[in-house]
Amino acid sequence: MTQTPNRVPEVTPAFWLIKLMAVTMGETAADFLALNLGLGLQVTTALMTVGLVAMLAWQFGQRAYRPAPYWAAVVMISVVGTLITDNMTDAMGVPLIASTLGFALALGLTFAAWFATERTLSIHAVFTTRREVFYWLAILFTFALGTAAGDLVSEAFHVGFLATGVLFGLIIASLSFGYYVLRLDGIWAFWLCYIFTRPLGASFGDLLSQPAEFGGLGLGTVVTSLCFLAVIALTVAGMSLAPRRRPLA
C-alpha cells in the first residue's frame, strides 16, 4: 500500500536553522516595512496578509512537502504574526502581558480542537487539508505568542535584547535535554521549542538591527533582513537536495 505523503517537513537540524532565520527576519522585515519605509503598521499588515494568503494557497496546492512553498509560507507567517502583536501593542494599546496570555489561550484552544478532531497532534501525520489547517493556525499563534512573550521580557521587563535571547536559548536547551535525556514527549517538545525560537530569533534580530542607543549593534533592518534572507534561501536549496534524515521529534 502506498503511504500518504506528509505535507510538512521532518524535524532536522536544517529545519531549526531555517526556522530561526525566518523568525529573525520576520522581526526585522516587519520593522523595515512599517518604520523604515514609512508604510505604517496597518498598511504593512494588509500587504503582508495578502502575501501570506498567496503563499498559503501555494502551499495548500501541494500534496506532499515541497521546501519552497512551505518555507515561503513560514517566512510570511512570521512577518504577519509579528505585525499582529505589534498592532495590538502599538495601535490598540493592549498590554503585552494580556496579549501573551491571550495568544497562549488561543494556541491551547487550537491544540484542543485539533486533538479532539484528529486524535493526534503529530507533525508526522499532516496529510489531509483539515490537519494542515490546524497546523498553520497553530504556527500563526506560536509566532504571535512568541512575539508578545519576547517583547514582554525584553521591553516591559527591561531585560534587554541579548539577555532575552540568552534566556530563551537556555529554555530551548533545557527542552532539548528533556527530550534526549529525560524522554520528554516529542510532540510537546517540538511545539514548545517552536514557540520559544520566536523570541530567541527576534531578540537577536533586534540586537543586530537596532541602534546602539536602544541596546542594539546598529546594523540596520535592511542589512540584517537581507543577510537572513540569504541564509534562508541557501538552506532551502540545501534541504531540497539533501537526502531524507531521521526525524528529531
Amino acid at 245: R
Domain assignment of residue 8, yes or no? no
CB 74 within 8 A of CB 19: yes
Domain assignment of residue 246, yes or no? no
Domain assignment of residue 190, yes or no? yes
pLDDT of residue 174: 96
Which parts of the chain sit beneath pLDDT 70?
1-3, 239-240, 242-249
Residue ranges making up the domain that contains 179:
13-241
Domain assignment of residue 196, yes or no? yes
Structural domain count of the chain:
1
pTM of the complete model: 0.88
- What is the gyration radius of the CA atoms in the chain, in angstroms? 18
Q: Which residue is associated with the grid cell 501570506?
A: 52
Domain assignment of residue 45, yes or no? yes
Residue 155 C-beta-side C-alpha neighbours within 13 Å: 18
pLDDT of residue 87: 93
pLDDT of residue 244: 54
